[in-house]
């Protein structure tokens, strides 16, 4: 990307510096990793979400935030995406547990965009936009448990006709 990017055919072009500032200031965490899963970019929201500064995160592998018990599954999917150039999480939200710097787990939701080598389908980078869903995940879990409890209570069963 050089100079400016047009948002649509009839709209004004956005300067690269403006777009870079947007990515840096987003409330959602943004990280970019190379095809080997090494972090290349980590915005301020990623610092707040995970507790690692950009200086500490950049250059590290994504294992930094992936729970150990999920790493094999993560890397299996990662390598499949690198090989095929396809992901279903470009327009579909993925919700997974992740790991903060203090080793406490959190629930994150994110989408990814695949960046490719110009003129090819070879994936060179993955951009992830992430947010903390821990509170909502816990609320859904509690509501589902309550719903299951209510459904199991024979006193609340609907009368037969």
Q: Quick one: average pLDDT of 87-104? A: 89
Residue 13 is predicted with a pLDDT of 77
**pLDDT for res 6:** 41
Residue 102: pLDDT over 80: yes
Q: Which two tokens stand for residue 101?
A: 């710097």
Which whole-number Å values give the CA distances from 72 to 5, 9, 67, 76, 79, in the listed order? 38, 43, 10, 6, 11
Question: Which pTM value belongs to this model?
Answer: 0.77
Average pLDDT over residues 72-95: 90
Angstrom distance (rounded) from CA 57 to CA 43: 10
Query: Across residues 52-68, what is the average pLDDT?
Result: 96
Question: Which tokens is 61 given?
Answer: 């592998």
> Which pair of structure tokens corresponds to residue 93?
């939200």
For the cut 70, the answer to whether the pLDDT of residue 151 exceeds it is: yes
Higher pLDDT, 150 or 94: 94
Residues with Cβ within 8 Å of residue 135, at least 6 apart in sequence: none
Q: Are 8 and 17 in contact (CB under 8 A)?
A: no
What is the pLDDT of the chain when averaged over all its residues? 86
Share of the chain above pLDDT 70, in %: 89
pLDDT of 100 over the 90 cut: yes
């Amino acid at each position: 990307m050089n100079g400016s990017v047009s948002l649509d055919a009839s709209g004004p072009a956005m300067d690269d510096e403006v777009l870079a500032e947007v990515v840096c200031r987003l409330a959602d965490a943004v990280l970019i990793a190379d095809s080997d899963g090494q972090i290349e970019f980590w915005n301020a929201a990623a610092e707040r979400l995970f507790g690692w500064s950009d200086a500490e995160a950049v250059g590290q592998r994504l294992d930094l935030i992936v729970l150990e018990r999920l790493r094999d599954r993560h890397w299996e999917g990662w390598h499949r995406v690198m090989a095929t150039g396809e992901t279903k999480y470009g327009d579909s939200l993925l919700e997974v547990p992740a790991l903060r710097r203090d080793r406490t787990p959190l629930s994150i939701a994110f989408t990814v965009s695949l960046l490719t080598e110009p003129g090819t389908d070879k994936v060179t980078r993955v951009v992830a936009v992430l947010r903390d869903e821990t509170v909502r995940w816990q609320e859904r879990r509690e509501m589902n448990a309550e719903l299951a409890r209510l459904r199991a209570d024979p006193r609340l069963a609907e009368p037969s006709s």
